[in-house]
């Protein structure tokens, strides 16, 4: 089975090893094979947009994703805001290995409407991308 046969491909690694370049190359190849592709980037996405011209790119802010996740868990935006801004919470979440990556991947799923039926997902995503959507 090819890596492009997977439903979700995550490109990870240390800084400077070519993650963005590999992700862009895989996306372009997948599009050429007729697959539906969206690149999600935990930065502003500008480099991916340049490398993978014509492939939709979704930018995800990991800190914002963490705040949204906290709000969903606590079911209170106010409480999440108070806790999220506390120094202790910032320290604990910074020390938790992989937390930002985990909430970022969760944001990919919720942003793409994973709970929606497939036909709705396609039209919903297309509308959001047409408006210059950022996750």
Helix (H, G, I), strand (E, B) or coil at 69: helix
**Inter-axis angle of helices 99-111 and 62-74, to 10 degrees?**
80
- Tokens 């969206």 found at: 38
Domain that holds residue 123: 3-130
63: phi > 0 → left, psi -120 to 50 → alpha, else beta; which? alpha
135 found inside a domain = no
123 found inside a domain = yes
Can you give the pLDDT at residue 129? 52
What does the alpha-carbon distance between residue 47 and residue 58 come to, in Å, rounded to a whole number? 12
Cβ of 114: how many Cβ atoms within 10 Å? 10
Mean pLDDT of 57-76: 85
Can you give the pLDDT at residue 29? 92
pTM recorded for the entire structure:
0.65
Count up the domains in the chain and report the number: 1
Q: What is the DSSP letter of 5?
A: G
pLDDT digits (tens, 9 = 90+) for 6-26: 888 888 888 889 988 999 999
pLDDT digits (tens, 9 = 90+) for 90-128: 898 888 888 877 888 888 777 666 544 444 444 445 555
């Amino acid at each position: 089975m090819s890596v492009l046969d997977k439903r979700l491909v995550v490109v990870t690694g240390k800084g400077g090893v070519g993650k963005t370049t590999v992700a862009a190359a895989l996306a372009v190849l997948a599009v050429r094979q007729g697959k539906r592709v969206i690149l999600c980037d935990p930065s502003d996405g500008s480099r991916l947009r340049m490398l993978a011209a014509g492939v939709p790119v979704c930018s995800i802010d990991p800190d914002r994703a963490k705040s949204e996740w906290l709000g969903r868990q606590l079911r209170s935006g106010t409480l999440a805001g108070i806790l999220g801004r506390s120094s202790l919470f910032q320290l604990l979440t910074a020390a938790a290995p992989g937390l930002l990556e985990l909430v970022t991947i969760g944001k990919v799923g919720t942003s793409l409407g994973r709970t929606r039926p497939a036909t709705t997902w396609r039209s919903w995503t297309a509308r959001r991308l047409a408006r210059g959507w950022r996750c």
